[in-house]
């Protein structure tokens, strides 16, 4: 009974390790496995359109609203200490250091990550992946690599756009609505935001998160059971796992950079 | 390739191009309007030290100011091993390298509840006075004003009367 | 050592393969002659498709050899395997067309990937292949706009566009109406004669395939139970083969999935 249980645990552990090893191997192959550039670049552009441009709307809208909400809530707290002048720094720092990269990554996992998983899973279920292999074309290079690189490039760009829009959303509420001085908002923000520390951390975090989310998405798709149940499970797994890893890693990165 | 496909391909390329432009522009606006290029790296700096009796609530990365203008950052706070006096490491932008040895450093507070920073009052430059260089100590320092101590002293002097 | 004789393009030698814990092939041997149409018949669910994937090197056998023109497929390195695959093509049951490309680009796809021919040459080549399968007029349709039979014809054009030596068909007739079945049968014959390539058809549609096959293997129960020309098979009076060829519902291949006796189970249910 106990031996049985232990055996199951052992097998489980072994399976998890094997999957992780496989994931790392494929990762290296995808990152360094360019096919001919004349073929790769058009594919990359197409995927950047799917992954990046088509995620832009949700990023812009949620950025605007998140910025507005932070400003509104922050104002209520700060005003009771007579420190409403610090609204600018508060909005900018919370967005640059945490919310920009994290919320972008979560939205990206839900919007683009799940779509990537479903698309690749469907290609597998309809034998398109196997068919590529039989045509002597490596699906990792032809299908996975352009999608992965597109995600890697687009997510930091989306995070930047998101953060900027949110800061303007905060300005809209703080300055145009609640009547804070425009000069105070911008100048105090500028005095407390430092390029390397704050914008740098946004970029570093979003590059790390881009790796995680895109990687989870393509790996889940590439390894799903090629059935409709398998694809829907893989899609859910992508969103759940990518989000959890992003939140966990965010804590680790914050501890490393600001701790 | 026929025309329809070419047009579609072009549309995608233009959209992606605009997206890239938008992202780069966002980064530029963030850099110019929202952030300052910090003092902790990238630019030339030099480091001086100052002993204080009490640093109050001074933290690493606190700004160093002359007349309200930021000229550097606090990069380290340690205790000297012999007498346990706090030593503050000050990294100052090389643009402001002409500070006389007679300059004084004090720990000040911005506003009643604001953050603490190191204020520097430049000393007079007379012929035989050298400039502060890397590794020098600022000897003329004023400790932080600790509010609790001040209130304590005030109450003590009141009860004396 | 097996005969790697020049008459056979593919030789499978004492191959054993299991999927997870389920044994699928138990020590089978068969050979596929060059330039001929070889049919592999058998009831569904015995892993005939698996055999094609083994030949293509997508799956690895537990034991045994698969010789393709003198090269042992399971022991090839990745690069050699990919090299080898350019000489064969597999027509998947679903067609496996790329859903984001139209018919023309689907057929042009292997050419663009494997050669650097100018676009005008590709255009001619693709149009010729589409003409051969009668779908030149459909070159701008998307795969989602095609019927099942048309999708398979496009897939056939794509599979033959680089003139492979070996073409493998995975259940090409399944789910087709009589007309498109007839079209596919004559197309397969055409392709075989025009390209001089070797064809392997895996199927359970007995009558269609017997009309074009040169040599037939019948598989059941993890192994090859009969082989020969279509005429030889028709005259075989083994019960199992006649059941399969004539489509009798019950016989050596039972109608019932293995279970304990019905009255036992009823008695159990009654308590």
| Nearest chain A Cα distance for residue C14, angstroms | 24
In whole angstroms, give the CA distance from residue A259 to residue B116.
20
List all residues 6 or more positions away from C82 whose beta carbon is below 8 Å from its beta carbon. A136, A138
The domains of chain A are located at: 42-258
Place of tokens 């799917």: A50
Closest CA in chain C for residue A141: C113
Note the pLDDT of residue C1: 39
Note the pLDDT of residue A54: 93
In whole angstroms, give the CA distance from residue A240 to residue A247.
11
Residue ranges in chain A whose pLDDT is less than 70: 33-35
Assess contact for C52 and C90: CB atoms under 8 A: yes
Angle between helices B3-29 and A145-171 (to 10 degrees): 50
In whole angstroms, give the CA distance from residue A106 to residue A102.
6
Q: Are strands C8-19 and C22-33 parallel, antiparallel or unpaired?
A: antiparallel
C113–A135 CB contact, under 8 Å: yes
End-to-end Cα separation, chain A, in angstroms: 46
Q: Which residues pair with C39 in a beta bridge?
A: C201, C216
| Nearest chain C Cα distance for residue B7, angstroms | 15
Query: Mutate which of A39, A46, A49, A257 to test chain B, going by most B C-beta atoms within 10 A?
Result: A49
Read out DSSP for A230-257? HHHHHHHHHHHHHHHHHHHHHHHHHHHH
| Nearest chain C Cα distance for residue B72, angstroms | 57
| Nearest chain C Cα distance for residue A233, angstroms | 22
Note the pLDDT of residue A254: 92
Place of tokens 């690069």: C79
In whole angstroms, give the CA distance from residue C20 to residue A22.
19
In whole angstroms, give the CA distance from residue B106 to residue B55.
9
In whole angstroms, give the CA distance from residue B89 to residue C242.
95
Per-residue pLDDT tens over the stretch A41-66: 888 999 999 999 999 999 999 999 99
With bands split at pLDDT 50, 70 and 90, how would you rate the model's confidence at C2?
very low
- Please tell me which residue, C255 or C266, carries the higher pLDDT value: C266
Q: Which residues of B touch A157 (CB under 8 A)?
A: 19-20, 22-23
In whole angstroms, give the CA distance from residue C11 to residue C3.
8
In whole angstroms, give the CA distance from residue A47 to residue A138.
18
Note the pLDDT of residue A35: 63
A135–C109 CB contact, under 8 Å: yes
> Neighbouring chains of B at 3+ CB pairs within 8 Å?
A, C
Note the pLDDT of residue A95: 93
For A25, counting Cβ atoms within 10 Å of its Cβ (0-12 exposed, 13-18 middle, 19+ buried), the class is exposed
Note the pLDDT of residue C266: 82
- Please tell me which residue, A218 or C195, carries the higher pLDDT value: A218
Note the pLDDT of residue B17: 94
Distances (CA, A) of A202 to A94, A99, B107: 10, 9, 31
Query: Which has the closest alpha carbon to C9: C197, C162, C160?
Result: C197
The domains of chain B are located at: 1-34, 45-145
Q: Is the ipTM of this complex over 0.95?
A: no
| DSSP secondary structure letter of residue A144 | I
Query: Mutate which of A25, A127, A135 to test chain C, going by most C C-beta atoms within 10 A?
Result: A135
How many contacts, defined by CB atoms under 8 Å, are there between A and C? 47
| Nearest chain B Cα distance for residue C101, angstroms | 10
Rounded to 5°, the CA angle B26-B32-B34 comes to 80
Per-residue pLDDT tens over the stretch C144-191: 888 888 888 899 889 888 888 889 988 888 877 888 888 888 888 888
A134–C83 CB contact, under 8 Å: no
Cβ density class A89-116: b for 16+ within 10 Å, e for less = bbbbbbbbbbbbbbbbbbbbbbbbbbbb
C119–B1 CB contact, under 8 Å: yes
In whole angstroms, give the CA distance from residue C178 to residue A84.
79
A134–C93 CB contact, under 8 Å: no
SS3 A108: helix
Numbers of helices and strands, H then E, in chain B? 2, 8
Interchain CB contact of C59 with A (< 8 Å): no
Place of tokens 């260089």: B133
In whole angstroms, give the CA distance from residue C271 to residue C257.
24
Q: Which residues of C touch A136 (CB under 8 A)?
A: 82-86, 114
Q: Which residues of B touch A89 (CB under 8 A)?
A: none
Closest CA in chain B for residue C119: B1
**H helices present in B30-70, as ranges:** none
- Please tell me which residue, A165 or C6, carries the higher pLDDT value: A165
Q: Which residues of A touch C93 (CB under 8 A)?
A: 127
What's the average model confidence in pLDDT over C6-27? 83
A128–C83 CB contact, under 8 Å: no
| Nearest chain B Cα distance for residue C115, angstroms | 17
Question: In chain B, how long is the greatest CA-to-CA distance?
Answer: 100
Average pLDDT of chain C is 83
Note the pLDDT of residue C253: 65
CA atoms within 13 A on the CB side of A148: 25
List all residues 6 or more positions away from A116 whose beta carbon is below 8 Å from its beta carbon. A51, A147, A151, A214, A217, A218, A221, A238
What's the average model confidence in pLDDT over C85-89? 87
Q: Which residue of C53, C93, C96 is in closest CB contact with A128?
A: C96
SS3 B147: helix
Q: Which residues of C touch B2 (CB under 8 A)?
A: 140
CA atoms within 13 A on the CB side of A19: 12
**H helices present in C202-238, as ranges:** 206-212, 230-235
Q: What are the phi and psi torsion angles at B135 (to 5°)?
A: 95, -10
Q: Which residues of C touch B1 (CB under 8 A)?
A: 119
| Nearest chain A Cα distance for residue B53, angstroms | 27
Residue ranges in chain B whose pLDDT is less than 50: 39-41
What whole-number percentage of chain C has pLDDT above 70? 93
Spatial strand order of the sheet with C63-68 comes to C22-33, C8-19, C63-68, C71-72
Note the pLDDT of residue A165: 96
Query: Which has the closest alpha carbon to C205: C177, C224, C226?
Result: C177
In whole angstroms, give the CA distance from residue C8 to residue C242.
28
Query: Mutate which of C51, C98, C116, C200 to test chain A, going by most A C-beta atoms within 10 A?
Result: C98
- Put residue C250 in one of left, alpha, beta given phi > 0 → left and psi -120 to 50 → alpha: beta
Angle between helices C148-160 and C119-132 (to 10 degrees): 130
Cβ density class C142-152: b for 16+ within 10 Å, e for less = ebeebeebbbb
In whole angstroms, give the CA distance from residue A187 to residue B139.
34
C119–B2 CB contact, under 8 Å: no
List all residues 6 or more positions away from C206 whose beta carbon is below 8 Å from its beta carbon. C41, C244, C245, C247
Assess contact for C219 and C42: CB atoms under 8 A: yes
């Amino acid at each position: 009974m106990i031996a049985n249980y232990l055996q199951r645990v052992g097998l489980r552990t072994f399976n998890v390790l094997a999957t992780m090893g496989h994931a790392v191997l494929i990762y290296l192959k995808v990152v360094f496995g360019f096919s001919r550039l004349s073929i790769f670049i058009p594919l990359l552009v197409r995927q950047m359109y799917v992954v990046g441009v088509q995620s832009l709307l949700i990023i812009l809208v949620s950025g605007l609203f998140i910025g507005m909400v932070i400003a509104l809530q922050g104002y209520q707290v700060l005003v009771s200490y007579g420190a409403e002048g610090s609204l600018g720094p508060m909005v900018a720092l919370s967005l640059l250091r945490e919310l920009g990269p994290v919320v972008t990554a979560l939205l990206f996992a839900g919007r683009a990550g799940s779509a990537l998983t479903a698309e690749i899973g469907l290609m597998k279920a309809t034998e398109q992946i196997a068919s590529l292999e039989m045509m002597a074309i490596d699906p990792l290079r032809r299908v996975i690599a352009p999608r992965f690189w597109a995600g890697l490039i687009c997510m930091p760009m989306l995070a930047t756009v998101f953060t900027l829009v949110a800061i303007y959303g905060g300005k809209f509420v703080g300055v145009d609505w609640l009547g804070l001085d425009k000069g105070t908002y911008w100048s105090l923000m500028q005095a407390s935001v430092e390029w390397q520390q704050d914008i740098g951390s946004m970029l570093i975090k979003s590059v790390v998160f881009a790796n995680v989310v895109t990687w989870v998405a393509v790996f889940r798709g590439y390894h799903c059971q090629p059935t409709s149940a398998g694809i829907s499970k893989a899609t859910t797994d992508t969103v759940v796992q990518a989000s959890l890893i992003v939140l966990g890693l965010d804590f680790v990165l914050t501890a490393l950079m600001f701790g | 390739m026929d025309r329809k496909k070419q047009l579609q391909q072009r549309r995608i390329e233009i959209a992606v191009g605009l997206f890239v432009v938008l992202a780069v522009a966002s980064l530029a606006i963030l850099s110019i309007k929202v952030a300052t290029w910090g003092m902790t790296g990238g630019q030339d700096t030099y480091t001086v030290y100052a002993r204080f009796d009490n640093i109050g609530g001074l933290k690493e990365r606190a700004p160093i100011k002359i007349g309200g203008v930021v000229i550097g950052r606090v990069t380290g706070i340690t205790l000297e091993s012999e007498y346990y006096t706090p030593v503050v490491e000050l990294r100052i932008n090389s643009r402001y390298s002409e500070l006389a040895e007679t300059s004084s450093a004090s720990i000040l507070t911005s506003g009643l509840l604001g953050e603490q920073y190191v204020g520097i009052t430049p000393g007079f430059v007379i012929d035989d006075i050298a400039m502060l260089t890397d590794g020098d100590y600022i000897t003329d320092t004023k400790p932080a004003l600790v509010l609790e101590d001040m209130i304590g002293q005030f109450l003590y002097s009141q009860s004396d009367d | 050592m097996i005969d790697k004789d020049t008459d056979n393009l593919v030789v499978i030698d004492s191959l054993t393969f299991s999927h997870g814990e389920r044994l699928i092939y138990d020590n089978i041997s068969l050979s596929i002659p060059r330039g001929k149409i070889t049919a592999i018949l058998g009831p569904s669910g015995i892993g005939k498709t698996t055999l094609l994937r083994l030949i293509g090197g997508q799956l690895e056998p537990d034991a045994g050899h698969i010789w393709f023109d003198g090269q042992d497929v399971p022991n090839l390195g990745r690069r050699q395997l990919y090299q080898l695959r350019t000489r064969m093509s597999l027509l998947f049951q679903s067609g496996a067309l790329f859903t984001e490309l139209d018919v023309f680009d689907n057929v042009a796809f292997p050419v663009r990937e494997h050669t650097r021919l100018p676009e005008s040459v590709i255009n001619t080549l693709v149009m010729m292949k589409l003409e051969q399968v009668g779908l030149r007029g459909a070159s701008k349709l998307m795969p989602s706009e095609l019927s099942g039979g048309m999708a398979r014809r496009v897939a056939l054009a794509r599979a033959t566009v680089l003139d492979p030596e070996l073409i493998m068909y995975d259940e090409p007739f399944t789910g087709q109406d009589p007309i498109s079945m007839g079209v596919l049968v004559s197309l397969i014959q055409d392709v075989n004669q025009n390209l001089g390539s070797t064809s392997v058809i895996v199927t359970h549609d007995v009558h269609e395939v017997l009309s074009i096959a040169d040599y037939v293997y019948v598989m059941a129960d993890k192994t090859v139970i009969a082989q020969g020309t279509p005429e030889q098979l028709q005259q075989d009076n083994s019960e199992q083969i006649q059941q399969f060829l004539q489509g009798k519902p019950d016989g050596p291949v039972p109608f019932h999935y293995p279970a304990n006796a019905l009255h036992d189970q009823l008695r159990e249910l009654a308590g």
